[in-house]
Chains A and B, each alone.
Chain A
Amino acid sequence: MKHTLSVLVENKPGVLTRVAGLFARRGFNIESLVVGQSENPNMSRMTITIDAAEHPIDQVTKQLHKLINVVKIRDLDPESMVARELALVRLSAEDATKRAEAMQLAELFKAQVVDVDRKSLVLEITTTPDQLASFTKLLQPLGIVELVRTGTVAIGRGRG
């Protein structure tokens, strides 16, 4: 089962290595890990997406808590969180039919064209992980040259 952890950490050197290393040592596969400054300049917030099919999630959250620089962990409830991911997709644009189809899809998914030349175009999309999956799947036959994803960031809904 997929879990989205929101982890508040002290902004100290080595903290990313400590967190990432822990997942590896305890046998968890990280699907994505995003880290950036939080509302407090001394703290960073990580959004970690993991597949906890083989191990119970509470063992990893307890182990994470043992890291001195980890301040707070939330296992976000998929029903009450907002999750977003940004992706940049470079498509081959030499075939006019495919290009038109790509533009249509972009419009449908509210993606922006951020770069274009004779051979290729780059789309930017910010959406939910599910939507992104469908978007890239639909673009696939149109010739994805390069795909760059930020990984998921997520926040709890309401005040939860």
Chain B
Amino acid sequence: MSPQQRISGAHAIIQALKDEGCDVIFGFPGGVVIPFYDALFDSDLRHVLVRHEQGAAHAAEGYARATGKVGVCVATSGPGATNLVTGIADAYLDSIPMVAITGQVKADLIGTDAFQEADTTGITLPIVKHSYLVTEPHELPQIIHEAFHIASTGRPGPVLIDIPVTAALAEFAYEKATTLDLPGYRPTMRGHTKQLRAAAKALTESLRPVLYVGGGVISSGAAEEVFELATRLQIPVTTTLMAMGAFPETHPLSLGMLGMHGTAYANWAVHESDLLIAVGTRFDDRVTGKLSAFAPHATKIHIDIDPAEIGKNVEPRIPVVGDAKLVLRGILTELEDLELQPGLTADWLERVEKWRAAHPLKYDAKGGEIAPQYVVEQIREVTGGDCIITTDVGQHQMWACQYFKYTEPRQFISSGGLGTMGFGLPAAIGAQIGCPERQVIDIAGDGGFQMTMQELGTAMAYEVPIVVAILNNRFLGMVRQWQELFWKGRYSYTDIAVQPDFAKIAEAYGAFGATVTAKDEVADTLRAAIKDPRPAVIDFVVRREESVYPMVPSGATITEMIGGAPSKRGKS
């Protein structure tokens, strides 16, 4: 495009998106974005029309989480923008790179309560990494360039661009933005050498180290470095929900997930460790339980790109600000100059193995009813573990963490920080569009599925061959579990047994639908759904009052773990 050519703001948005390497956007039209959609009509930029703007935001997240690229969603002003809010907040809490573009009323109508006017930048202020309200149309290319940079670098996050329709209609000479002028934004990438050295030294001296790995390892692409560090020094690795697959769970050093519903052996290992290496993680309350009793004997190394995370919840002995990959690479280099004592952690690993053997993850597989955990195991079995899993939020999400052994980063896509029900289906669509060659399976709950199931329409329209596996217990199961354990079994408004026939809903959309009530039909139905080229929904009718164990109650210490808490620790 020649710099002299005058184009409309709407065309400029599309050109700028393409200049950033964006190949697909997820959106829904409306009044003030008609000029943008008109420009899109002749454009080769792919647009996926969702059925609700929340779906656009989650699909953009699913795309971003699966590919590592920036996810883009578009909505109109007012209700279009407010419907994006949950997805933007979700991306913010999980540090997912996203650019959200919203239409706004004419510039001269802003502040007049015009039709479909909402203060979108105001509403989203606490849940964005940054935002823009475009006042000068010719700044659009520069703003979009900055937005992609801010969304995808440092600690990633959502950036919102609110564009008045007058800016989309204005014409100006398009000039590709190539430079950045962000004097207040310079993320620290490399760790301080002194800190790297201190971390390396602590690693060579530790008898009971544990690597505690979070989503930062996925976003910085540091899985290889984690693997190298863990295997070289023989350190067991536990991951947060955001980092499932950052270390292969099939490896003997893997402890699986830690925290509230983590494995007993991961929690015990952290509790008894003398050195905790926290990488790209933020000591969230779902991980730590009672903060003062978390890893009480451990020296803490905290590696994070966001200086505000360091010291926020836990004061580390050795803080390292920087990108997880570069910092770990730096520590590995420092280790080369130090003398390693082979077998230093051998006794420790033996102890961890004893915990693992004594308190494995287990569920009751007997009886005629389908155990939800069994479905997760069968999904792994049928796919050979080679698929991308998305989830909603609740019990099924925890079982998806516990019983599927993830082996690669970006294989598990879930709403971690915000805990958004209804995330799974639209995220699966976004992930599938980002990774067309992969099988994508949404492990859903019957509650969450009903929040965004209209996106089956999107899946049909774009022939996205996802499989939705509903673990249907006819309850809002996680809340029911808390009511059972902590509220005297008073199941206040958690019974959702009145519900549609999900298989028929799928069929009504023209998708594959099936209901499974017998254990021996689980694997075959999964195979049939995967083989069918259409989107598929399988309603697995599972045991109603199954609970997720082990469980460290909210704010408790791991000595209070329910189901899998050995009271004899120490020398066990």
Report A's interface with B, CB cutoff 8 A: 9-10, 13-14, 17-18, 21, 25, 56, 58-59, 62-63, 65-72
Contact = CB atoms under 8 A, between A and B. Distances in A.
B257 interface: no
A71 to B, nearest CB: 4
A41 to B, nearest CB: 14
Given A68-B129, A68-B130, A59 B184 contact: no
A65 B182 CA distance: 13
A59 B311 contact: yes
B554 interface: no
B218 interface: no
Interface of B: 121-122, 125-126, 129-131, 133, 135, 150, 182-185, 306-308, 311-312
A70 B312 CA distance: 20
B184 A71 contact: yes
B133 A14 contact: yes
B182 A14 contact: no
Contacts of B130: 67-68
Contact of A62 (B131, B184, B307): B307
Q: Which of B131, B184, B306, B311 has the most CB of A within 10 A?
A: B184
A62 B308 CA distance: 5
A67 B184 contact: yes
20 contacts: A10-B183, A14-B131, A17-B125, A18-B125, A21-B125, A25-B126, A56-B311, A58-B311, A59-B308, A59-B311, A59-B312, A62-B308, A63-B308, A65-B184, A66-B306, A67-B184, A68-B130, A68-B150, A69-B184, A70-B184
Contacts of A10: 183-184
Contacts of B307: 62, 65
B361 to A, nearest CB: 37
Contacts of A71: 183-184
Contacts of A63: 308
B135 A13 contact: yes
Q: Which of A13, A62, A63 has the most CB of B within 10 A?
A: A62
A14 B120 CA distance: 12
Given A66-B129, A68-B130, 4 more contacts: A21-B125, A58-B311, A59-B308, A63-B308
A13 B133 contact: yes
List the 4 shortest-distance A-B pairs measured between CB atoms, nearest first. Answer: A62-B308, A71-B184, A68-B130, A71-B183
B184 A14 contact: no
Nearest to A66: B308
A9 B122 CA distance: 19
Given A59-B311, A62-B307, A14 B121 contact: yes
A9 B306 CA distance: 20
A15 to B, nearest CB: 10
A14 B121 CA distance: 9
